[in-house]
Structure 1
Amino acid sequence: MKRYPSTTALRAFEAISRLGSVSAAAEELNLTRSAVSHQLNVLEEVVGFALARREGRGITLTRKGENYALEVKKALTILLEASRVNCEEEMIGKLTISCAPGLANYWLCRKLSGFTKKYPKLSLHILSSSFPSDISNDNVDLFIAYGNGNWPEKYVKQLMTIRLFPVCSPHFFHQRGGLGHPSNLVKMPLFHLVNHTDWRVWLAANGVSNTQLEGGVIFSDANLVQSAAIAGQGLAIGDNMVSGDALEKGLLIRPFEKSIESPRAYYLVASPEKVERKDVSAFIDWLEGLVSDAQSRYDRPK
């Protein structure tokens, strides 16, 4: 009679395949190293072939083991999904969202109560990616990523377009008695996101071309750029989403009305399997409703 592998053995093997170490798998599962090794041995007996090779203190999957690991991950995902939905209206379990840092801090994290009130038994986990276009974390169910939309073999849907424009604090603006013509900005402290591109494009659209921007401060994410601008340290390129709340509260102002459309945008990115889940679908529907409302208030193309 054919034996079925235990879920404990499958979980141990999945953790080993993902983490590349028996010790790391044991720590994640809160088991001893010997217990995890035992589960691996039991699973190999059930399937009838070697899943991994021990190499010193490390472990490497065999070719059959690599293929089996993919199937195990799918099977465990199905089991997890079966426990997520208690009934048609009530969702339980864990939903993990990764969001670009600036959008997470200045927009998403200020809106979450609407979703948590609607789904009080769903545990929502919000992560901040290491860079805006990063979708490398396999534990994430849905990414809100900033980029050009090129994520092959993934579900990709544009969430919002972005318009770019200069922002600064009211104190910075009044301290200088206004900023005058856009050409004056090249002599002022400018903040940049990753590189000088956004400022160069905006200045060119305002008649200041062939500008050699030197100095300034380059930040790794929009969160830091906007924080520095709010603190009155200089001028930044803001956008209709990250800067919207700060503009409404008067923490930032737009010294020039002209905006340009960013060549990048925010996208929803997920694996095709995860996007079919009811909790992921519910979060997407809620998020798109928020974006529709926010963009109608914040967008002011000039």
Structure 2
Amino acid sequence: MRRKLPPFPALRAFEAAARLGSFKAAAEELCVSASAISHQVRLLETYLDRPMFARGPQAVRLTRAGERYLARIGPLLDELDASTRAIKGEAAQGVIRLRMTEWFAKRWLIPRLPRLMRACPGLDVQIETGLPPTDFRHGALDVIIHWGDAPVEGAVIEPFFASTRTPVCSPAYLAAHPDLKAPRDLARHVLLRDETDDGWAEWFAVAGLPASCPEGGPVFSHCELSTNAALSDAGVELAYRELLIDLLRGGDLVQLFDIHSPVRTIYSLAYERHRATDARILAFREWLFGEILAESEAPADAHPPLTAAQ
């Protein structure tokens, strides 16, 4: 016989408050008062005979026992929600909060947003941009488009986007600099640099010219700014080719040489491990990986040559 379980309203209140990091936010999500959330959490703490939250004057935070309990019941409630929706024939519904770099949002996700909305009509997408690190501790996010593939404690990291890097510039910049014909010529040109991950030295080494890499050039805090500078004829960017493929195909930028830095993972899907069965996260994950698979299987004639200098 199964032992008596805690009251379900108390479990819901605790999970929402723990996930969101706030009794007030939990109250808004569950359409009750903050005092009702506090009351239900107190009931659960009495039932378990231990505190789940450490309460301060301005905020609450989980105790170690609360963290362990959330890690166990969070996936169970997600699975219960997903199973209930599945048996009722419902798609995933609700708000999904996404965080990513400005570059990924502007160059990849937003152009595909209509397809996401058609594929997941029940999801209300909230998008914010920002730089690393990947941090779920404040409970304000469901999914982070993680830079690279480094592990994050308590999170699932699933790589999905890799690319080489290669020099690109605008057609106008190339037309104004007819001397730019070979890799060694770059030593005399303006190189646009990425503060987060400047890869010019690596590229010059791959090109067989390690001593030719200059040290100067404008430095930008993230790739979106260096791409905008390249589009504005300011110099040559060492671009992640796959992320700018639409700009290259459209002629807004030109790939200078058929020389590439090694392939590396630049983006991974990240979400909290205890929420691996959340229906909203699963729906977004399925759409994302479907888009990546469809693009990888595009016919060869969909990828015309992009190199300006041979």
CA distance change for structure 1 residues 79 and 299 in 2, over 3 Å: closer, same or farther?
Answer: farther
2: CA distance, partners of 1:147 / 1:261: 14
Q: Which of 235-244 and 139-148 deviates more?
A: 139-148
Structure 2 matches for 1:156-167, cutoff 5 A?
156-167=157-168
Find the counterpart in structure 2 of residue 170 from structure 1.
Answer: 171
Q: TM-score, normalised by structure 1?
A: 0.77
1: CA distance, partners of 2:273 / 2:45: 30
Secondary structure at the aligned position of 2:180 is classed as coil
Task: Give structure 2 stretches of 5+ with no counterpart.
Answer: none
Find the counterpart in structure 1 of residue 135 from structure 2.
Answer: 136
2: CA distance, partners of 1:206 / 1:96: 42
Structure 2 matches for 1:130-279, cutoff 5 A?
130-131=131-132, 134-137=133-136, 140-148=141-149, 150-151=151-152, 155-194=156-195, 197-211=198-212, 213-271=214-272, 279=283
CA contact (8 A) 1:193 1:221 kept: yes
CA contact (8 A) 1:162 1:241 kept: yes
User: How many residues align structurally?
Assistant: 298
CA contact (8 A) 2:159 2:265 kept: no
Instruction: Determine what percentage of the aligned residue pairs are the same residue.
Output: 26
2: CA distance, partners of 1:22 / 1:28: 10
Shift of 1:17: 3.4
CA-to-partner distance for each residue in 1:118-157, whole Å, 9 max, x for gaps? 44334444443423xx432366555443414545675444
Shift of 1:24: 5.9
Q: TM-score, normalised by structure 2?
A: 0.76
Secondary structure at the aligned position of 1:215 is classed as coil
1:5 to 4, 7, 27: 7
CA distance change for structure 1 residues 93 and 258 in 2, over 3 Å: closer, same or farther?
Answer: same
CA contact (8 A) 1:141 1:280 kept: no
CA-to-partner distance for each residue in 1:15-57, whole Å, 9 max, x for gaps? 4435555456556666554343323223333434433344555
Task: Give structure 1 stretches of 5+ with no counterpart.
Answer: none
2: CA distance, partners of 1:33 / 1:106: 40
CA contact (8 A) 2:103 2:224 kept: yes
CA contact (8 A) 1:240 1:295 kept: no
CA distance change for structure 1 residues 188 and 28 in 2, over 3 Å: closer, same or farther?
Answer: farther
CA distance change for structure 1 residues 286 and 65 in 2, over 3 Å: closer, same or farther?
Answer: closer
Instruction: State the Cα RMSD in Å.
Output: 3.7
